[in-house]
Structure 1
């Protein structure tokens, strides 16, 4: 056997420096190339730097749908004109601020009271039930009207309506007339 090394059996790397550079270009450089390619591909969706104000864009995305303005009609109209908002239509189709006709006792009963008093919901005495209304009739019209205005047990004040006290008394009189 021969004592000298055969050059044909050795690799291209002859020094430790060559090994270091080969390792770097084999493992580290491809990682940086992949990161660069990923950044290049994903950056196409982004706007150019400074093209969009991110604070303004965020403010527009999270802006409120509506605002609450408290004050008299002139202040509200001025605030709506400044914001460019259109006034909301009146709930019953009447012009805002226009006086509405007083409801009769029967009309108010059919609008607000019938929801509970027709079926006896939450302990409400049924319309026309003399046995249920008997003890209450003894309290008198004023006491029943006060209970209807202030609310009692599960019944909200004024039965949840926006009726005047006179309209509430008219509705109580209508209910009492049905059981007398």
Structure 2
């Protein structure tokens, strides 16, 4: 009697071979399902943020510096709304990318038109959602306002296109007095302008190492790779003036002036440095 009681006291929960089989099976299968569940949970948690599908734009934003100071020609003719739209806005608003209201779509623009022109202009200048701030970019605030009016009016809006600021009376009065000296000096100025300054190799390399290397060293976002003759050939064929204009205005993932405060001469030197490496 005492022997049987002692034997039962030391007996575990597994009493038969069948129970041993199922316990062993569960010990193997359950961890596998737990691992599969964890992997599924982790991978499905990586949701793409709105606007993050534009890889080139996200690269440009990461390369963009906190602040940029540029000197622009304030006397150039102001562009119309349609011209600004085609140059700056068409990439998103022509097809409605990333939630942008599509040009001419009354349904997309209805709620926005109710906000009024001032609210739409403020959103355009400060940026909203996937749209980066347009204030301080390639176009003036007035030109951005004209583009806003153009897009809004294409969807039924009745906004007036912003007019150019009137010239000051003092400047207008001084114009006749200064016209003759400027005209007399024009031939000499033309001679100076016709002779482009020679590119400084040291300045070109310095700017390349500071800003251009981020994309051109490895050919990021379709940037012509440093030293790659085939990649640079079509750009070299366009000529220095065309390449400089592209560097100043920006193209694709490259922001204007490579997100630097470099002068035109410094940009020209950096371009020449990369061109020389591809010859």
> Where on the TM-score scale, by shorter chain, does this alignment land: which range?
0.3 to 0.5
TM-score by length of 2: 0.29
Higher helix fraction: Structure 1 or Structure 2?
A: 2
Q: When the two structures are superposed, what TM-score results if normalisation uses the length of structure 1?
A: 0.45
